[in-house]
Amino acid sequence: MQYQELVNWIQLINSGGVGPVTFYKLLEKYQTARQAIKYIDKEKIFPEYEAKTEIEKAHKQGIQIITFTDKEYPQTLKSLNDAPPILYVKGRTDILNYPIGVSIVGARNASVPRRKIASKIAFDLTNNDVLVISGMARGIDAAAHKGALHAKTQKGPTIAVLGTGVDVIYPEENTELYEQICLYGAVISEYKLGTSPQTSNFPRRNRIVSALGSAVLVVDASQNSGSLITARLGLEQGKDIFAVPSSPTDGKSSGTNCLIKEGAVLTENANDILSVLRYTQNRQIKQFEIKEQDLFANRLDKVEKNDNIPVKGKSNNFKPLTNLIPDEGMDIDELIRISGQPTDKVMAQITELEIEDIIKRINSNTIVLKGKYK
């Protein structure tokens, strides 16, 4: 991609109210990012000089900026309707299109035995030329990355998908792990450089974690955890789903047993995964349902039971939309997707809710209920 076109892509995706879904709609309508920018409110446009600075920063730090049109861009992501238009990559770009990969996810507060299982499975998968993908969080994510890195005479590749800027290490305790992944694998992010940890970004990045792999392994999960969201996303993307069983008395890990009951492959070791990937990589496992309303039930109930949001005027028609926004806020593209409404209608509602001071933007593409904003 030409330099100026890259500048315009960075401007467009970082402009107010523009997420991946909106980005592609604008690009389709106006043909180029430069043309699309002309039709965005001036005060919402990401400045050109900041986009150029972004490119300079990336170059100085050895970070590559890959766009949807570049050959290095992961082909598995292109099937997503909200595929990141831009990916920041620190490390190897040649593994972004690795033939076979497994996304390993699980709880941050996982027990030592569970972390050992994740690490051992990741180690064995990597030695069998299966790429391990995870999110570099505490617990299962970190254990999976470490297991992969110790494979292949301690040079095993692995991909970490961050919910921060690719130059922001979170949590800080994973600094050494981050450096090792950059050396032997790749750290990637869709967020611009310097993006700090924000609660709403981490569930969002899960779609990338699941999409990059050929399968999803859930090592540890409670009934309403982000790991189950990743499993659901993987299922929607046509991936095989695997889960490590837990004790019936272990409520914190009961989510994995739920997955197995619904059709996920019971997994005790890497061979359970390899046997499927080798011989039935394209088979359809039972379509177990992790319903959207179930995953969001706890936070929806919380909003409905404490529904003191000052809804007035025309916005009374938009009350269901406000009920979908959790306390920590939500990405606009995610809100559009789960609302089931056309993009233009949701954006119109968001604009009016902003005017009536019911919601607030905390960055270019994330909104929170005004009463919940701290």
Q: Which range (57-66, 136-145, 202-211) has the least confidence?
A: 202-211
| CA trace torsion 90, 95, 101, 103 (10° rounding) | 0
Lowest mean pLDDT among 40-54, 55-69, 179-193, 315-329: 315-329
Q: Where in the chain is the domain with CATH 3.40.50.450?
A: 101-291
For residue 104, the cross-strand partners are 217
pLDDT over 50 (residue 343): yes
Strand ranges inside 170-319, DSSP E: 186-189, 215-220, 240-243, 265-266
Percent of the chain scoring above 70 in pLDDT:
83
Q: What is the CATH number of domain 101-291?
A: 3.40.50.450
Q: Answer whether residue 371 shows pLDDT above 70.
A: no
pLDDT of residue 299: 31
pLDDT surpassing 60 at residue 42? yes
In this predicted structure, what is the pLDDT of residue 235?
A: 83
pLDDT band at 275 (very low <50, low <70, confident <90, very high): confident
- Rounded Cα distance between 222 and 245, Å, is 12
pLDDT score at 304: 35
Confidence of residue 278 (pLDDT cuts 50, 70, 90): confident
Helix axes 226-236, 201-212, angle to 10 degrees: 40
**What pLDDT is attached to residue 253?**
67
Average pLDDT of the segment spanning 195-213: 90
pLDDT digits over 148-162, tens only?
999 998 899 999 999
**Does 248 score more than 90 pLDDT?**
no
Residues with Cβ within 8 Å of residue 134, at least 6 apart in sequence:
103, 104, 105, 140, 141, 144, 145, 158, 159, 160, 161, 209
- Pairing relationship of beta strands 330-331 and 366-369 according to DSSP bridges: antiparallel
| CATH number given to 1-60 | 1.10.150
**pLDDT (average), residues 119-146:** 95
Task: Output the pLDDT for position 68.
Answer: 95
First to last CA, the chain: 40
* pTM for this entry: 0.75
119 vs 132: CA distance, rounded Å: 10
Q: What is the pLDDT of residue 303?
A: 33
Omega prior to 47 cis, within 30 of 0 = no
Weakest-pLDDT range from 103-117, 255-269, 329-343: 329-343
> What is the pLDDT at residue 355?
60
- Within the chain, all domains assigned CATH 1.10.10.10 are found at 296-372
Q: Which of 83-87, 121-125, 277-281, 346-350 has the lowest average pLDDT? A: 277-281
Say yes or no to pLDDT of 168 above 90: yes
Distance (Å) of CA 24 to CA 128, 151, 212, 346: 37, 39, 20, 16
| Intervals of CATH 1.10.150 along the chain | 1-60
Cα–Cα dist 114/117, whole Å:
5
Record: fold of 296-372: Arc Repressor Mutant, subunit A (1.10.10)
- The chain-wide mean pLDDT, for the chain, equals 83
Nearest CA to 141 out of 182, 170, 164 is that of 170
pLDDT of residue 67: 97
